[in-house]
Structure 1
Amino acid sequence: RGNPNPLIQVGDLEVDLRDHRIRRDGQPVELTAREWALFEGFIQRPGMLLSRQQLEDRLYAFGAEIESNTIEVYVSRLRKKLGRDAIVTVRGMGYRLETHET
């Protein structure tokens, strides 16, 4: 798993996996621990669909009860910080990180 280059570029986001840092258009983006846990799931599989269950599993590590709208709340927070189009909803299926690749 040791990625020799922990910097990943996805769209206008530059992600440093080792230091848990994100820059959007060169500006730092601050994420909470839970936001990072969800975001990390997306960044490990850019462009791939993640189900609600897969995302909920990432939050269970925090030991808190997962409410029915928890994923929507965190996806909304990530969109505010990373850009509205950064995470795409696939109705009835889940979410994916938009890579802007053609």
Structure 2
Amino acid sequence: MSHITIDDFTKVDIRVGTITRVEPFEKAHKPAYIIHVDLGDIGVKKSSAQLTGKYSPKDLEGKQVICVVNFPEKQIGPIKSQVLITGFTDENGDIVIATTESSVPNGSKLH
């Protein structure tokens, strides 16, 4: 593992947002959803996320998630993924989303 400086960390803009809509991403190579995340003043942004192993759309809607918001947009099939929803891989290889312990305002920055 290599070390980073606090300056490196502060370059990554990590914010919390609430999932407002989840759609099946039928054109994805691996099972995925198109997820719309309300990030407060930043607006509603889309992400392609391979969360189908652990979550249904109803499980995700209304959840707060932790997102990286300053990566460049990435073209994934017919959509542009605008944010990266963070998570961890469980023992089965499924992604478990990173979230907050309690509700905070959308767009809040991770410190």
The TM-score, its normalising length taken from structure 2, stands at 0.30
Q: Which has the higher helix share?
A: 1
Q: Which has the higher strand share?
A: 2
The TM-score, its normalising length taken from structure 1, stands at 0.32
